[in-house]
Amino acid sequence: MIRLGTHHREELVDITEEVRKHVRKSGIENGIVSLFAQGATAGLMIQENWDASVRTDVVHLLQKLIPRGVWLHDQQDGNGDSHLKSGLVGPSETIPLIDGQLGLSTWQNICFCEFDGPRSQRTVVCTIIEDC
């Protein structure tokens, strides 16, 4: 499990180093890393890591595509947009594990997507499966 807190209503948080720690701890060299964000208003995304503005651009794009305050679910708890953004992005990512390293390219990192924060605790389930 990866536990993290978020600081804004909507943000992408880089969790790549936490995933790498779990990989090292597992001792598994080849297989897959399966990640799953728990929560109906969160998601996971593999994205550019060179420039933090990309993460901001993703948030701004989703805000334009799915604005706040116009959805039926907003009548319940005011976060209809958060649920829609989470559904669009999706809760999971699968990354190959090659020779003990995440099979990401030079410019890819793993981002936790917060759409209904800030939250003191969010959880990502990290499952590492070895090749047969």
pLDDT in tens, 96-109: 999 999 999 999 99
User: Could you tell me the domains of the chain?
Assistant: 2-130 (2.60.120.460)
Mean pLDDT score, 100-123 = 97
Q: Does the pLDDT at position 52 exceed 90?
A: no
Q: For residue 24, what pLDDT is reported? A: 97
Q: Does the pLDDT at position 49 exceed 90?
A: no
Q: For residue 99, what pLDDT is reported? A: 97
Q: Does the pLDDT at position 8 exceed 90?
A: yes
Q: 20-37 pLDDT, tens per residue?
A: 999 999 999 999 999 999
Q: Does the pLDDT at position 40 exceed 90?
A: yes
Joined together, the tokens standing for residue 56 give: 């901001």
Q: For residue 112, what pLDDT is reported? A: 98
Residue environment code for 14-46, b if the CB has 16+ CB neighbours within 10 A, otherwise e: ebbebbbebbeebebeebebebebebebbbbbb
Q: Does the pLDDT at position 74 exceed 90?
A: no
pTM of the model: 0.95
Q: Which sign does the torsion angle of CA 93, 41, 17, 57 carry?
A: positive
